[in-house]
Amino acid sequence: MTATNGRPQAGGDAANGRPGNGSDAVHTDTVSTVVRQWQAVHPELDTGPMEVIGRINRCAALLQQAEDAPLRRAGLSRPEFDLLGALRRTGHELTPGELVRETFSSGAAVTKRLKQLTERGLVERRGDARDRRVAHVRLTDAGRDLVDGILPEQLAYETTVLSALAPEGQGELAALLGDLLSRLEGRTGVLRA
Amino acid sequence: MTATNGRPQAGGDAANGRPGNGSDAVHTDTVSTVVRQWQAVHPELDTGPMEVIGRINRCAALLQQAEDAPLRRAGLSRPEFDLLGALRRTGHELTPGELVRETFSSGAAVTKRLKQLTERGLVERRGDARDRRVAHVRLTDAGRDLVDGILPEQLAYETTVLSALAPEGQGELAALLGDLLSRLEGRTGVLRA
DNA sequence: AACATGTGTTTTACCAGTAAAAGACCTACC
DNA sequence: GGTAGGTCTTTTACTGGTAAAACACATGTT
């Protein structure tokens, strides 16, 4: 459980942090294989970060596929659901600009999605009286019902997916990711550099 | 699944065995805000999975932006780098089909990328003598040099990005994600369902 | 040998996302 | 009150992805 930071020499276990797991139950996840390959080719490099970032990326990819299953049944993509969800969880109307911020997507993407969701009757828009540039978007009843119907399925699905981890493991993971995320989000400078 | 299931709210540190790091600094990451909003609207739902999956997704999104910085300087997208990296780290030629499996992308995407990378002189292809359906792709010297030049930058960048976490935290995170990932990858049925 | 079936790769048609510019509108200052 | 500059949103042009079909070839069977 020593250095992830300082040269994980031989064996990918360096970043593994757990006490006695050297031999049994070898992690056969693809990332550890990839890391081993890199270390064989470039033994001088510290591949520690890969073990974290590679896994985050890969988990995200796999989980999104998994999560998408309940959504697709409802004919929604994940970004569409995110948009509807933002409206639902805030509980009030949002402007397109606010939706951009809530869903972390570009303005153009939000415009397109709103168009489609409006056509499907899931959201409505009205203009602002004072400032005619801005629009206000709200869920229709159908939109709200759809979100409320999907969300429990979604969470149940996620629960089973995460059941690979013990509850304490899930807590740890959430906490660690929270640490990382709050720093990442706080220091946007790091990201834009 | 009761409302507040085993969710590690303030007691998270108890369950998660982290020694010194019990800094009760409130996590101000966006995910915790989102989760709070959902709980206000649907107090009966167990939002535990969101704290993990939401954060994985968000971290992935932010980290990819971060990682992309060094790549973009070299005029490569991440999927392109993944392809070149697969060739580099395996150390031998790969067929398009193998590249599909290594990089987790579709065949069509690999074909397109190979075309571009070939035009840029970073990879070469040759046919197979025995089976004329298959091609063999290898890095050119320029391609190899490019990868070798970028990789250290990339890792350095990732190291600074992860410096938000203490080394032990990084190890724990890698281990937990490895657990999750190896189960996710093993049980493909869960994902394709 | 001829054919059905399977595999490796590419092509086609299409869809969603982005960046940059445009458009519409506000505001504040001269 | 007109105009410069800023903000909110949409449009445009394009890129890159996917799914499904097409293509080219191999293989096993009769």
- Integer CA distances (angstroms), B115 to A82, A94, B68, B76, B131, in order: 35, 44, 21, 14, 21
- The answer to whether A164 touches B183, Cβ cutoff 8 Å, is yes
Interchain CB distance below 8 Å, B91 and A41: yes
Is the pLDDT confidence value at A31 over 70? yes
Q: What are the helix (H) ranges across chain A? A: 30-41, 48-73, 78-90, 96-103, 107-119, 141-162, 167-186, 188-192
pLDDT digits (tens, 9 = 90+) for B129-168: 999 999 999 999 999 999 999 999 989 988 988 998 999 9
State the pTM of this model: 0.83
Shortest distance, CA B116 to any CA of chain A (angstroms): 24
Fold adopted by A76-151: Arc Repressor Mutant, subunit A (1.10.10)
Give the model's pLDDT for residue B187.
55
> How many contacts, defined by CB atoms under 8 Å, are there between A and B?
284
Which residue among B29, B34, B171 places its CB closest to the CB of A16?
B171
Q: Which residues of A touch B37 (CB under 8 A)?
A: 89-91
Any strand D atom closer than 7 Å to B54 CB: no
What tokens appear for B150 in the block?
């970028």
Give the model's pLDDT for residue A17.
38
Which nucleotide's C1' is closest to B137 (Cα)?
Answer: C9
pLDDT digits (tens, 9 = 90+) for A171-185: 999 999 999 998 888
Q: Mean pLDDT for chain B?
A: 84
Give the model's pLDDT for residue B26.
62
Which residue among A4, A37, A89 places its CB closest to the CB of B90?
A37
Measure the CA–CA gap between B81 and B139, rounded to whole angstroms. Answer: 12
Interchain CB distance below 8 Å, A4 and B67: no
Footprint on protein of nucleic strand C, Cβ below 7 A: A 77, 79, 105-109, 112-113, 116, 130-133; B 95-98, 107-108, 110-112, 114-115, 125, 131, 133-135
- The answer to whether B7 touches B51, Cβ cutoff 8 Å, is yes
CA B101 to chain centre: 15
Taken in order B56, B57, B59, B65, the sign of the CA dihedral is: positive
Measure the CA–CA gap between B56 and B54, rounded to whole angstroms. Answer: 5
Angle at B41 between CA B35 and CA B45, to 5 degrees: 65
What are the residue ranges spanned by the domains of chain A?
Answer: 1-73, 76-151
What are the residue ranges in chain B where pLDDT is below 70?
1-27, 187-193
Interchain CB distance below 8 Å, A45 and B151: yes
Which residue among B45, B47, B165 places its CB closest to the CB of A176?
B165
Any strand D atom closer than 7 Å to B79 CB: yes
Measure the CA–CA gap between A138 and A123, rounded to whole angstroms. Answer: 6
pLDDT digits (tens, 9 = 90+) for A138-175: 999 999 999 999 999 989 988 998 998 999 999 999 99
Which residue among A1, A164, A176 places its CB closest to the CB of B180?
A164
Chain D bases having any atom below 7 Å from a protein CB: 6-13, 16-21, 24-27
Measure the CA–CA gap between B30 and A182, rounded to whole angstroms. Answer: 8
Interchain CB distance below 8 Å, A179 and B167: no
Any strand D atom closer than 7 Å to B133 CB: yes
pLDDT digits (tens, 9 = 90+) for A77-115: 999 999 999 999 999 999 999 999 999 999 999 999 999
Interchain CB distance below 8 Å, A174 and B34: no
Interchain CB distance below 8 Å, A164 and B179: yes
